[in-house]
């Protein structure tokens, strides 16, 4: 028993310490003290789920009906969804041979209260729930608990339900490759390289289709840096495949489907998707970019409701899907799904955004909730990643970084040149990242790529978020002090950040001074950089300070995202849209010619000689 207690204690400590350090409520599953569970099986309590087999027509998202009952119902009773269905001892990591592991050492993938949509539950002791499941490589079971989330008592466990093919290739996500004419397709499956060959079959719409091989990655519990990712939050991520579709014709529409050639000779296919290839760098054509941070995920069935995630995250997702034909590329600049060490949530997120990511390149940046963990080389020593220390984000989504663990990269999209920084690693002068940022900014030929955009998760520029204002910095400390000379020298037009969950826009600014008083239509040189916070993707909103700064031009305490439209080399439209209605609430235009970019202002031109 002593070993058992020690083991339980280690899990408890792991969970408690991560819970303490995380801002409250950012992962609903962290509310459940699953390690405290007591077995209280009651013969008169029951729970059953139907149908038994899901996805008979190839669907990867299905609704199940869960019926349950107990003779002593309370308002604290809840239903946990577990996957794999056998969530008992076999999944517990044995610390040594003499450990008797606790029965429940794995968190559910979602939960809902028994009285949800059952007003009479505490009277009748009976309830019915409709829950949405996604195909994530394993079967599912449902468990009825009493005693609330903190002292769970397990009353009954349901039959298992499963997708017809749990290993099916799912949730493709496109991302720009290292070259402008390369698109990468990343997806998840249950097929290892020992049982099937992964590939993408693709070609121009209506033309011949060819096959490109895919590489396969995965990670295991030992790749996680701490709890809960290493303990109750661990779930096998399956296999993550990436294929590189090369030598694309600019703007051409391609169709593709992902497949696995099993070594028994059969094939397993996804559905067919399509995308438009990226424009040639400098190409003059209509180009539309959407940027936001901190979206998180939410459940369409209302489960895991906590901290007001549902309206924001799902609304943003729905608005993007609704307007997808008018969007060419998307940047989700950090704090991707707030799995925070509950790994099942990465599948849920990739399922939520699949209608978007399968159609347009979805480029991510790294945030604190992907990367930060003490003693692991993150710039911040907090526990915001829940022990993930960047591994799931770096593996689940492709980025054209030289080293995917160092999450900085550049990418071109026609007349745009993007430099994406990684605020969870040091960016100060003299660092590897600083050199990258300077090199990235310097490599934009502004005659070809007039629209130079800097992206990062934490606010390295300017923010009126209350926690930055309280620090007196109005930014991430050491942010603009380190980088503003570069933004000015290389004439960065717009810098966009997340992390602060709201929207705001500054004047064109350099060293705290507005360089241009115009608010809606900039003509000629900007003389500074416009800084934008677009952190209202979906996670709970952040307050502004009451201090009105000189540089703030617009604030909105709501969920939303921004859209940049380049009409040509001289005309750019910036729009901020609310996620609730998709309408524009703030906007400005930039109209200028090449000579306006070349024009010198404070610190923006190299020294010159008077000799001629």
Nearer to Fe ion, 243 or 368 (CB): 368
Q: Which two tokens stand for residue 604?
A: 């923006």
Nearest distance from C-beta of residue 364 to Fe ion, angstroms: 13
- Binders of Fe ion among residues 277 to 336 (CB under 5 A) are 335
Nearer to Fe ion, 301 or 476 (CB): 476
Cα separation, 126 vs 70, in Å, equals 7
CA geometry: angle at 334 spanning 331 and 339, to 5°? 125
E strand residue ranges, 51-180: 53-54, 61-69, 78-82, 110-113, 126-134, 141-146, 153-157, 162-163, 170-176
Q: Which two tokens stand for residue 376?
A: 């692991």
> Which residue stretch of 182-190, 284-292, 308-316, 361-369 sits at the interface with Fe ion (rule: CB under 5 A)?
361-369
> Which residue stretch of 82-90, 277-285, 360-368, 372-380 sits at the interface with Fe ion (rule: CB under 5 A)?
360-368
Nearest distance from C-beta of residue 498 to Fe ion, angstroms: 6
Nearer to Fe ion, 340 or 449 (CB): 340
390 binds Fe ion (CB under 5 A): no
Nearest distance from C-beta of residue 423 to Fe ion, angstroms: 9
499 binds Fe ion (CB under 5 A): yes
Nearer to Fe ion, 201 or 384 (CB): 384
Nearest distance from C-beta of residue 1 to Fe ion, angstroms: 42
Of 268, 260, 242, nearest to 357 by C-alpha is 242
501 binds Fe ion (CB under 5 A): no
Nearest distance from C-beta of residue 151 to Fe ion, angstroms: 32
> Which residue stretch of 85-93, 362-370, 467-475, 524-532 sits at the interface with Fe ion (rule: CB under 5 A)?
362-370
Give the three-class secondary structure for 14: helix
Nearest distance from C-beta of residue 146 to Fe ion, angstroms: 36
367 binds Fe ion (CB under 5 A): yes
The residue with tokens 């809902």 is: 112
Residue 279 · residue 411 · CB < 8 Å:
no
Nearer to Fe ion, 139 or 294 (CB): 294
DSSP state of 360: S
> Which residue stretch of 225-233, 364-372, 502-510, 586-594 sits at the interface with Fe ion (rule: CB under 5 A)?
364-372
Residue nearest to Fe ion (CB): 499
Of 67, 66, 64, nearest to 55 by C-alpha is 64
Of 403, 413, 404, 318, nearest to 361 by C-alpha is 413
Cα separation, 33 vs 260, in Å, equals 39
Nearer to Fe ion, 52 or 467 (CB): 467
Nearer to Fe ion, 368 or 410 (CB): 368
Nearest distance from C-beta of residue 417 to Fe ion, angstroms: 25
388 binds Fe ion (CB under 5 A): no
Q: Which two tokens stand for residue 459?
A: 């606010």
Nearer to Fe ion, 202 or 474 (CB): 474
Give the three-class secondary structure for 330: strand
Question: How many residues lie near Fe ion (CB under 5 A)?
Answer: 4
> What are the phi and psi torsion angles at 454 (to 5°)?
-105, 130
Nearer to Fe ion, 110 or 457 (CB): 457
Nearest distance from C-beta of residue 293 to Fe ion, angstroms: 7
Nearest distance from C-beta of residue 335 to Fe ion, angstroms: 4
> Which residue stretch of 299-307, 366-374, 391-399, 518-526 sits at the interface with Fe ion (rule: CB under 5 A)?
366-374
Nearest distance from C-beta of residue 501 to Fe ion, angstroms: 8
Nearest distance from C-beta of residue 285 to Fe ion, angstroms: 34
Taking each helix axis as running N to C, give the angle between helix 480-489 and helix 432-442, from 0 to 180 degrees, rounded to the nearest 10: 20
Nearer to Fe ion, 176 or 368 (CB): 368
Nearest distance from C-beta of residue 303 to Fe ion, angstroms: 24
> Which residue stretch of 315-323, 420-428, 481-489, 498-506 sits at the interface with Fe ion (rule: CB under 5 A)?
498-506
Distances (CA, A) of 383 to 20, 365, 368: 9, 18, 9
In sequence order, the 6+-apart residues with CB closer than 8 A to the CB of 145 are: 37, 77, 78, 79, 80, 152, 153, 154, 155
370 binds Fe ion (CB under 5 A): no
**What is the b/e burial string over 426-440, where b = at least 16 CB atoms within 10 angstroms of the residue's CB?**
bbeeeeebbebbbeb
DSSP state of 326: G
Cα separation, 186 vs 346, in Å, equals 14
Quick note: the x/- pattern for Fe ion over 23-52, rule CB under 5 A, is ------------------------------
Residue 22 · residue 110 · CB < 8 Å:
no
Nearest distance from C-beta of residue 346 to Fe ion, angstroms: 17
Nearer to Fe ion, 146 or 368 (CB): 368
Nearer to Fe ion, 242 or 399 (CB): 399
Nearer to Fe ion, 80 or 293 (CB): 293
368 binds Fe ion (CB under 5 A): yes
Distances (CA, A) of 368 to 246, 356, 382, 391: 33, 24, 8, 13
Length of the chain: 612
In sequence order, the 6+-apart residues with CB closer than 8 A to the CB of 301 are: 63, 112, 129, 130, 131, 132
- Binders of Fe ion among residues 326 to 355 (CB under 5 A) are 335
Residue 464 · residue 418 · CB < 8 Å:
no
Nearest distance from C-beta of residue 441 to Fe ion, angstroms: 23
Of 132, 126, 141, nearest to 52 by C-alpha is 141
Nearer to Fe ion, 335 or 556 (CB): 335
Binding site for Fe ion (CB under 5 A): 335, 367-368, 499
């Amino acid at each position: 028993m002593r070993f058992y207690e020690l083991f339980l204690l280690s899990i408890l400590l792991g969970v408690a310490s991560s819970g303490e350090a995380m801002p409250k409520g950012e992962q609903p599953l962290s509310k459940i003290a699953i390690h405290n569970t007591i077995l209280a099986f009651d013969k008169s309590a029951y729970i059953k789920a139907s149908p038994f087999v899901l996805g008979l027509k190839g669907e990867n998202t299905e609704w199940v009906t869960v019926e349950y009952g107990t003779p002593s119902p309370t308002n604290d009773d809840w239903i946990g969804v577990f996957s794999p269905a056998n969530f008992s001892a076999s999944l517990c990591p044995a610390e040594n041979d003499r450990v008797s592991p606790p029965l429940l050492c794995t968190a559910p993938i979602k939960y809902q209260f028994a009285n949800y949509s059952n007003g009479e539950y505490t009277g009748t002791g009976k309830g019915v729930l409709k829950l949405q499941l996604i195909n994530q490589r394993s079967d599912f079971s449902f468990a009825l608990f009493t005693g609330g989330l903190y002292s769970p008592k397990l009353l009954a466990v349901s039959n298992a339900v499963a997708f017809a093919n749990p290993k099916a290739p799912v949730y493709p996500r496109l991302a720009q490759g290292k070259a402008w004419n390369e698109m990468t397709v990343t997806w998840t499956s249950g097929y290892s390289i020992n049982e099937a060959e992964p590939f993408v079959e693709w070609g121009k719409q209506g033309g011949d289709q060819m096959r490109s091989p895919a590489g396969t990655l995965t990670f295991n519990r030992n790749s996680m840096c701490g709890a809960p990712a290493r303990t109750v939050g661990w779930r096998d991520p399956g296999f993550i495949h990436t294929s590189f579709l090369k030598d694309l014709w600019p703007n051409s529409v391609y169709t593709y489907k992902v497949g696995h050639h099993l070594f028994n000779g059969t094939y397993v296919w996804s559905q067919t998707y399509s995308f438009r290839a990226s424009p040639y760098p400098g190409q003059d054509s209509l180009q539309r970019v959407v940027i936001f941070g901190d979206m998180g995920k939410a459940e369409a069935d209302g489960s895991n409701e906590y901290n007001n995630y549902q309206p924001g995250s799902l609304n943003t997702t729905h608005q993007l899907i609704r307007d997808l034909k008018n969007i060419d590329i998307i940047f989700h600049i950090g704090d991707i799904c707030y799995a925070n060490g509950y790994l099942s949530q990465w599948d849920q997120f990739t399922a939520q955004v699949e209608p978007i990511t399968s159609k347009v390149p979805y480029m991510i940046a790294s945030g604190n909730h992907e990367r930060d963990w003490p003693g692991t080389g993150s710039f911040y020593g907090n526990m915001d990643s829940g022990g993930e220390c960047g591994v799931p984000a770096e593996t689940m989504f492709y980025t054209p970084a030289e080293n995917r663990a160092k999450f900085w990269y550049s990418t071109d999209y026609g007349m745009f040149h993007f430099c994406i920084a990684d605020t969870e690693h040091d960016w100060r002068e003299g660092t590897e990242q600083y050199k990258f940022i300077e090199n990235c900014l310097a490599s934009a030929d502004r005659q070809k790529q007039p629209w130079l955009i800097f992206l990062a998760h934490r606010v390295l520029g300017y923010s009126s978020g209350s926690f930055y204002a309280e620090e007196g910095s109005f930014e991430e400390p050491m942010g603009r002090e380190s980088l503003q000379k570069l933004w000015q020298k290389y004439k960065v037009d717009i810098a966009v950040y997340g992390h602060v969950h709201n929207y705001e826009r500054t004047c064109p600014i350099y060293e705290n001074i507005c360089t241009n008083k115009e608010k809606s239509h900039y003509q000629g040189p900007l003389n500074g950089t416009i800084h934008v916070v677009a952190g209202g993707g979906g996670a709970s909103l952040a307050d502004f300070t009451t201090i009105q700064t000189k540089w703030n031009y617009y604030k909105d305490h709501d969920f939303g995202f921004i859209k940049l439209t380049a009409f040509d080399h001289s005309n750019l439209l910036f729009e901020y849209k609310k996620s609730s209605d998709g309408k524009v609430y703030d906007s400005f235009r930039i109209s200028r010619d090449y000579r306006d970019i070349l024009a010198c202002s404070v610190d923006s031109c190299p020294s010159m000689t008077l000799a001629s």
